[in-house]
Structure 1
């Protein structure tokens, strides 16, 4: 139990309250998180959480989510600081954790004790694993800063994909099914187990299909009614994609500088004479709250609509005006950006040809019995809650249903139970 009365701690008029108790001490004293949040958002990795959080922020929700693996007490410290503000706050959890410390894991969720609804974003497990297998990862050796003389084809040579687990991510030049087992672990596939840690379980399930471009705007309007936040108005924004084919290539920093024209070198000049241009996507700029500072000037540089509508060329207003005044620099920048986009589109087609589909994942399980049974046992445990309360969502998961049928045909009930007993 908490060593202090949480009701008094939330009152800033009290001498001792959340604003003057250090987070580290609060954790040791089992103090619940400050109650300044409106709902809890749960999600598994590979389920579209980045898109949904960008939608939240567009609706003026203040949503904080860890995107690195860390121990639960560090997660508590960050949420403790985050909840000191008085905005419309959302406590978000995704499986970026080290859940082997079950004691701290249990404690963290017990300290989220406000009686409020919980939104749980879910997705067909086989589609999640397909995305994991195809998942790109930031390559520390990739080119991040461009200039007028950067070879556009060199920019795209360093796209990498997630490899195996270890102290650091292993990099792979192309997707590989041999890395599929890294995603089939309890921590990543938690659902029912995660819910069981919570004190209050008013769960509202949302399938990822509902936040895809064709449905996202209507879905957010419905969520606004249910969770009492501001309804969206910019329908075009919700038709965008935060990752998609552009992930792994952008964002990039482009520095337009006349020195590169005069000297014809490939040095990236970042001095006062340089004009900074952000090559990114609409949703990415919104996600990182850059939209108020950077304006999309894509139409100024291209004479035709881009194939990837979500791609944008962003500048500060005063920087664009400065660039526009220098005709030779503007023309050189426009020419470079057109060559850049042409090379980007070519490279995306090459990368798309490498990607696996759900059918490839199912075929891999068909040939790998031990891994198939491992996934089967995890999902039998973790999908109990959603099967009970939202069987319609589970029934809509085409590839999961195919996986279930495969297991039934290849393994039979007795063998699956034997594997489960051995793992227990």
Structure 2
């Protein structure tokens, strides 16, 4: 009750509610403790002219001056920074907006492997903006990782709006684009349930490998022309840039990443973004087609070969063999099935 009285006496109702709502929306005991221990510093900041000039109408203003705090890569600091509305450390060189279907997987692979840059695909991160913020926080504050980027590929992420407002809109923004017919073909001509990877990634000699063949088999799906289904992962550009309001946008058509053009395209991007330019000996990477059917979702697979499984090995002539579901990973020969990544399959 003491803190309520303090807020009432020293803050206007709007700023008092900033703190109260932050406490209400957090389940972080370290945050509660931090606020109580530093309440005078927080109040002074919210009453300062600098706060009023920079953050008066900001939807998620920082509760403490972000210019005068020490930030490290710890999980503690990441969670605390989220609750305090501290913008992500300005150590990323670009923001990459990639609607599904614009060749984002290939682009990110090229960026990561030829420009000495780390940019995680957003679709492999948790569907929660706080988790994404904390995950990226640890990397952005790692002094050993120099060049980094942030990828945005979907809208249906919990607390996404707050995450977007904690990004720096002065950072260059790359937006992947593609002809609209090509995007529709991409979206409606594929079994998206394959992305869930509902299969065993590790198996032994007793396993019925037909499940992998079934996974790779395309199943004709009924086309549903309901564009509402695409609003969260395809038609996302306008909604994202409305909040981000980027000052420097570069649109890149996926055709610019063909085998013939990719090296020159990345060389130009590297120059514009102050990244390490691609080396000529990396050219072979552009021969690889990032998506060739559902192999991309299937691999890698791990086969553990153990002599104890030979007596129950699965074969076409012995399909009802005795399955051994306890894989001996320590005493088996490991064979990994994966895609070639330095040229054509």
- TM-score computed with the length of structure 2 as normaliser: 0.66
| Secondary structure in structure 2 of the residue aligned to 1:92 | strand
Matched ranges for 1:14-413 at <5 A: 16-19=70-73, 22-59=77-114, 60-67=116-123, 68=125, 70-86=127-143, 87-98=145-156, 104-113=159-168, 115-136=170-191, 137-138=194-195, 141-148=198-205, 153-159=210-216, 173-178=219-224, 181=227, 183-185=229-231, 188-233=234-279, 234-245=282-293, 246-261=295-310, 264=313, 267=324, 269-283=327-341, 310-311=344-345
Query: In the aligned structure 2, how far is the partner of 1:91 from the partner of 1:43?
Result: 13
Per-residue deviation, residues 301-351 of structure 1 (Å, max 9, x unmatched): xxxxxxxx644xxxxxxxxxxxxxxxxxxxxxxxxxxxxxxxxxxxxxxxx
| Secondary structure in structure 2 of the residue aligned to 1:158 | helix
Per-residue deviation, residues 139-186 of structure 1 (Å, max 9, x unmatched): 55535334456555443113477xxxxxxxxxxx43321376464325
Q: Using a 3 Å threshold, how does the CA distance of structure 1 residues 94 and 200 change in structure 2: closer, same or farther?
A: closer
Kept after mapping to 2: 8 A contact 1:57/1:63 = yes
* CA displacement at 1:31 relative to structure 2: 1.2
Kept after mapping to 1: 8 A contact 2:100/2:234 = yes
| Secondary structure in structure 2 of the residue aligned to 1:74 | helix
Q: Using a 3 Å threshold, how does the CA distance of structure 1 residues 212 and 149 change in structure 2: closer, same or farther?
A: farther
Per-residue deviation, residues 182-201 of structure 1 (Å, max 9, x unmatched): 64325530213311212442
Query: In the aligned structure 1, how far is the partner of 2:84 from the partner of 2:72?
Result: 12
Kept after mapping to 2: 8 A contact 1:116/1:202 = yes
- TM-score computed with the length of structure 1 as normaliser: 0.55
Kept after mapping to 2: 8 A contact 1:18/1:34 = no
Structure 1, unaligned stretches of length 5 or more?
Answer: 10-15, 162-172, 287-308, 312-424
Query: In the aligned structure 2, how far is the partner of 1:132 from the partner of 1:155?
Result: 23
Kept after mapping to 1: 8 A contact 2:169/2:247 = no
Query: In the aligned structure 1, how far is the partner of 2:196 from the partner of 2:99?
Result: 23
Kept after mapping to 2: 8 A contact 1:121/1:206 = yes
Q: Count residues in correspondence.
A: 267
